[in-house]
A and B are shown apart, each in its own frame.
Chain A
């Protein structure tokens, strides 16, 4: 399967999920992620899988809960307003320690907002999407190739740590087309001894549940979960550094804005400005250490986002406010141009025009 194909980001998610052994997809259509469902509806019946268009996003996420309980790989996908609806179910998945993949191809908000691209669900995804104390692993692809690779990765990580994972893409990532080398087909290697698969009268019942009658028991569960989160923060952070070796200004950006920023960085370098980028690939866990270390090297950070500065807060926390963090942002479905980013770079470099 090493041959290249030309795919939409949304299709790449769907095909990569199938190759990762997912045979259960539950969803509800919403722009700009509908191609995930459309692809699944065409492909799943041909390979003995389940494609089900649920009556709502809430129904879909609860169907995911049930399949996940059996130890099978299950997923759902939506865009911002639909992802918000799924939050109750995601909290239940987290509370029952179930692995699952939730795809969120973001559009402008709040409310019904719009259908054009956005990154305004950063808080929703990284602060634990739902009630209660929990996290989901959040992966932010920046190319169609990463849409495929990180989908497979999300399934693996979710299973390894028994928790939900969210692929957080923006509408542009979902819609754009690029050549992709699809990941190798794989099956889960994880331990599923916890799953409800029928006891065959040979073992004790497994129970999938998020209700604990004794407060002390519930506290214990929460503490155990946060121990796991500590391990994840230590071991699973992913980021990419671009032209950071001698950088004096550091752009932090993910998804489509990382690509816009890359163009701006190349242009700024031509003009002699030493600028680089740290691109978080996991948004939770956030690459705090890479940023903290960079804070001693650079004189300023620039956060480039399709929201009003949600990730900027994480950057400030990560660097302990050691250096200023400027914001370049467009919202409502707009995308900053490389020139807008370049102007911010020049300003940070003290070369205001």
Chain B
């Protein structure tokens, strides 16, 4: 995938945006060229900032990953109320700084559905003016409200209407959490391709859990391995 300065992940809630955003930020940190002249030596890693614009759901957020992000040298912009008991949809002021600072890669985690994407609308003019961005539709065929191309298009249209920023690509993130098999991912390829055909947008990435990556990397183009950051107590040992 061609690297743009700003990468925005949007989609139906629960489609996996936060996890992909975190993994992509880490990938950028390791592989992307630095954007600053002062840091232009080959050994210098680029500046990367993750901005959590999900102000709708106060439960699972990038905040939970704050510790390892810091360790990886990735900056995090998140509502000061994340993880607290205050259910206040407040936008962090630092997001404007990220949009203005073109020496930093920005990975933006957009809230779920149209309601979550509404918050992005505030920055749409700046994003469009700079013109160096990918707006990616994250889709998971195993989610009940995006099981068909038709339902997914409905969600995508609602998001575009809410934030006024058209999608530029698709991320196929079909998964069943820890139960995902290679077969599940393979069986979603046709769905992603049809989604691509109908929208005219390329499938920029297909995401898989790290342990399935080796098995599938020859078969699926643009395969992107994910390390799951948000693990909860599993029922079965």
**Could you tell me which B residues sit within 8 Å of A by CB distance?**
13-14, 57-60, 84-87, 140, 142-145, 147, 175-179, 232-235, 237
Contact = CB atoms under 8 A, between A and B. Distances in A.
A150 interface: no
Contacts of A171: 59
Contact of A6 (B14, B60, B233): B14
Interface in A246-260: 256, 259-260
Contact of B177 (A6, A39, A42): A6
Determine chain B's interface SS by DSSP, over half rule. loop
A297 interface: no
A240 to B, nearest CB: 11
Contacts of B85: 108, 113-116, 332-333
B14 A179 contact: no
Contacts of A115: 58-59, 85-87
Contacts of B176: 4-6, 179
A259 B175 contact: no
A259 to B, nearest CB: 4
Contact of B179 (A4, A31, A332, A333): A4
Interface residues of A, number: 36
A31 B233 contact: no
Contacts of A332: 85
B237 A5 contact: no
A32 interface: yes
A32 B87 CA distance: 10
A282 interface: no
The residue in A35, A108, A178 that gathers the most chain B C-beta atoms within 10 A of its C-beta is A178
A290 interface: no
Contacts of A333: 85
Interface string A258-273: 0110110010000000
Q: Which 8 A-B pairs have the closest CB atoms?
A: A114-B85, A259-B233, A179-B176, A175-B59, A179-B179, A6-B142, A5-B144, A115-B87
B145 A260 contact: no
Contacts of A83: none
Nearest to B174: A6
A142 B234 CA distance: 10
B232 A176 contact: yes
Nearest to B175: A6
Interface string A225-239: 000000000000000
Contacts of A263: 233, 237
Nearest to A267: B237
Nearest to B84: A114
B144 A143 contact: no
Contact of B144 (A7, A114, A259): A7
8 contacts: A4-B142, A6-B142, A6-B176, A7-B144, A8-B13, A31-B87, A115-B58, A176-B232
A79 B42 CA distance: 53
A91 interface: no
B58 A177 contact: no
A177 B177 contact: yes
Interface string A103-143: 00000100001111000000000000000000000000011
Interface in A159-187: 171-172, 175-179
A97 interface: no
B43 to A, nearest CB: 39
Contacts of B14: 6-8, 11, 177
B59 A32 contact: yes
Contacts of B143: 5-7
